[in-house]
Amino acid sequence: MASKTILEKRLTFRTKALEKLYDAYTALVDGGVKSYMIDDRQLTRFDLPALSEEIKTMESEIDALEAELAGRKRRKAFGVIPRDW
């Protein structure tokens, strides 16, 4: 387990990145260009589904870090197998 200061740095980094993802999503929805070319360079922005998935991932990482800072354990994934006896 990482120390509290490292967790706080990770949380700060991810929070700033999430704000930038929100801005990019808003700009794309407002009609910002998706891709363009300048001379021999080409810039392509995220498409909405990929950007939306990236936002969901970042939000879940932030939730996990906040939970860990609050002293709760990380979420564990488990599966349920229904059986018919």
Domain ranges of the chain: 15-58
Which residue type occupies 58?
M
3-state helix, strand, coil in the chain (%, to 5): 55, 10, 35
Say what the pLDDT of residue 59 is. 94
pLDDT tens digit string along 9-49? 999 999 999 998 888 788 777 776 666 666 677 666 667 77
**15 closest CA partner among 56, 57, 62:** 62
Say what the pLDDT of residue 32 is. 66
Q: Residue 9: which residues within 8 A CB-CB, separation 6 or more?
A: none
pLDDT tens digit string along 54-68? 889 999 999 989 988
